[in-house]
Amino acid sequence: MHDIRAIRENPETLDAALGRRGAEPMSSAVLALDAERRAAILAAETAQADQNRASKEVGKAKASGDEAEFERLRALVAEKKAEVAEMQEKAKVLDTQLTDLLMGLPNLPLADVPDGADENDNVEIRRWGEPRSFDFTPKEHYELEGVKPGMDFETAAKLSGSRFVLLSGGVARIHRALAQFMLDTHVEEHDLAETWTPVLVRPEMMYGTGQLPKFGEDSYETTNGWWLIPTSEVTLTNIVNGLTVDEGYLPRRYAAHSQCFRSEAGSAGRDTSGMLRQHQFEKVEMVTVCHPDKSLEEHERMTRCAEAILEKLGLPYRTVVLCTGDIGFGAQKTHDIEVWLPGQNTYREISSVSTCGDFQARRMNARYKPTEGGKPGFLHTLNGSGLAVGRALIAVLENGQQADGSVDLPEALHPWLRGKTRLDASGNLV
């Protein structure tokens, strides 16, 4: 959410930043609504002052026996009381409208975010690992003989509909091992605090991180008004919702493994084969809450945490900085990490790491108290996948595939599989 005072002082800054995103200028609409709201507040305060003055004079008129003046003043008090109520209600309605308008405006990209229209304008900043050369044509994950017994889309469709999968046997165990490997690595080597959170949240938590009000169709709402989380970014970030923490409490670095739920409303027809894009999936999410001076440093740190997981698994990847036309609603700057999938002969996103500045903190009213004293300031928040477990499974299966449909598994994963090193062509771990 944006600071209305900053928009009043520099409306052109808002419009220029929105223009970089390809959005229409909004400062005029914001300021017009703000001016109307402030006028209503002033009118209510003026009427209240008139009411108070008239109320003081009523007693004097009564005591002096001036019945006409008494009746005039009493009528004026009633008139001003009604006017106060009317203006206060108008100000309340306008305040809600202004808040809703500000809630619907995206975050402003940082100056070093490259300009661009869409994903084709993203800028690669580094690459790690060489894609493996195959002496056969590599297949996609769901086509592998060793994977087919443990990856059942037909039964999942019977149970729940399209974009679900039923994992079993060796494939399910690899999936579980990947999540445990990621979480343990982040806790033991990256100094993140392991956290387990609910997957159902109140709507105000979704407002806090920016999923509501604009993107409600992308998530699932229950009949009692709770929401299934699209990522544990929602729960981890909202730990500080409504709090003012001591500066010494910072930074707070969290990691959580959770189920995630997305309706994929805007992705009809995309990635319908296999388990690349599902309604229900698992992620190990990273969230950092920090002092404003440290957020860019934390952004680089979190990106390296995610990259390190891929490097330990021996999976080639590239890291790109998203352009202004591809960056997410709540982000100031985003690094996408894309893993190599030989079955598709391309890199696909496996993590997005974003710094949000104080955008979410303003929505959550989350602040910090400076150690040296002074006025509390808004926190900065960051989030990123560390990693998407299902996509990591796809990458491990495709990069380790053999001609007979078996899969050689990354050495880093062996301890979490109790020494098993391969998924054979029958779907068994050996």
Summarised one tens digit per residue, pLDDT across range 345-395 is 999 999 999 999 999 999 999 999 999 999 999 999 999 999 999 999 999
Assign residue 28 a region: left if phi > 0, alpha if psi is -120 to 50, beta otherwise? Answer: alpha
Q: With 80 as the cut, is the pLDDT of residue 423 above it?
A: yes
Residue 367 assigned as binding residue: no
391 is a catalytic site residue: yes
Helices (H), 115-224: 153-160, 169-189, 203-209
In a domain, 243, yes or no: yes
Q: Do 166 and 65 reside in the same domain of the chain? A: no
Q: Of 304, 349, 422, 426, which one is the catalytic site residue?
A: 349
What are the tokens at 179? 């999540």
Same domain, yes or no, for 148 and 223?
Answer: yes
The verdict on whether residue 233 carries a ligand-binding annotation is yes
Report phi then psi at 60, rounded to 5: -65, -45
Tokens describing residue 57? 């004079």
Catalytic, out of 219, 295, 352, 354: 352
Is residue 112 assigned to a domain? Answer: no
What pLDDT does residue 47 have?
Answer: 93
Q: How far apart are CA 47 and CA 50, in angstroms?
A: 5
What is the share, in percent, of the chain residues with pLDDT greater than 70?
A: 99
* Residue 273 in marked binding region: no
Q: Region 153-170: what's the mean pLDDT? A: 97
Answer yes or no: 21 catalytic: no
Q: Are residues 135 and 203 in the same domain?
A: yes
Whether residue 258 is annotated as binding a ligand: the answer is no
Q: For residues 95 and 229, state if they share a domain.
A: no
Residue 430 lies in a domain: no
Supply the CATH number for residue 81's domain: 1.10.287.40
| 137 annotated ligand binder | no
Q: Is the pTM of this model over 0.85?
A: yes
| Contact present, 26 and 15 (Cβ < 8 Å) | yes
* Active site annotation includes 262: yes
| pLDDT of 143 above 80 | yes
Q: What is the pLDDT of residue 73?
A: 87
Number of domains composing the chain = 2
Of 262, 301, 362, 367, which residue is the catalytic one? 262
Q: From 58, 75, 103, give the residue that closes a domain.
A: 103
Residue 331: band (very low, low, confident or very high) from pLDDT cuts 50, 70, 90 = very high
Select from 298, 286, 285 the least CA-distant residue to 251.
Answer: 298
333 with 202, same domain: the answer is yes
Query: Residue 268's pLDDT is what?
Result: 62
Same domain (yes/no): 27, 173: no
**DSSP type of residue 199:** S
pLDDT tens, 264-322?
866 666 677 899 999 999 999 999 999 999 999 999 999 999 999 999 999 999 999 99
Those residues with Cβ within 8 angstroms of residue 35's Cβ, 6 or more apart along the chain or in another chain = none
- 277 part of the active site: yes
Catalytic residue among 37, 163, 363, 391: 391
Find out whether 124 is annotated in a ligand binding site: no
Mean pLDDT of 99-104: 95
Q: Does the annotation flag 349 for ligand binding?
A: yes
Residues 379 and 409 occupy one common structural domain: yes
Q: Is residue 109 part of a domain?
A: no
pLDDT at 66 exceeding the cut of 90: no
DSSP-assigned states of every residue in 203-257 = HHHHHHHT-TTTTGGGSEE-TTS-EE-SSTHHHHHGGGTT-EEEGGG--EEEEEE
Domain that holds residue 80: 4-103
pLDDT of residue 424: 98
What is the model's pLDDT at position 65?
A: 82
| Pair 36, 136 in one domain | no
* Domain-ending residue, one of 55, 70, 103: 103
Residue 114 lies in a domain: no
For residues 412-420, average pLDDT: 98
How far is the C-alpha of 156 from the C-alpha of 278, rounded, in Å? 11
Say whether 352 counts as a known binding-site residue: yes
Catalytic residue among 72, 277, 304, 318: 277
Is 207 found in the same domain as 79? no
Q: What is the CATH number of the domain that holds 312?
A: 3.30.930.10
Bridge partners of 293? none
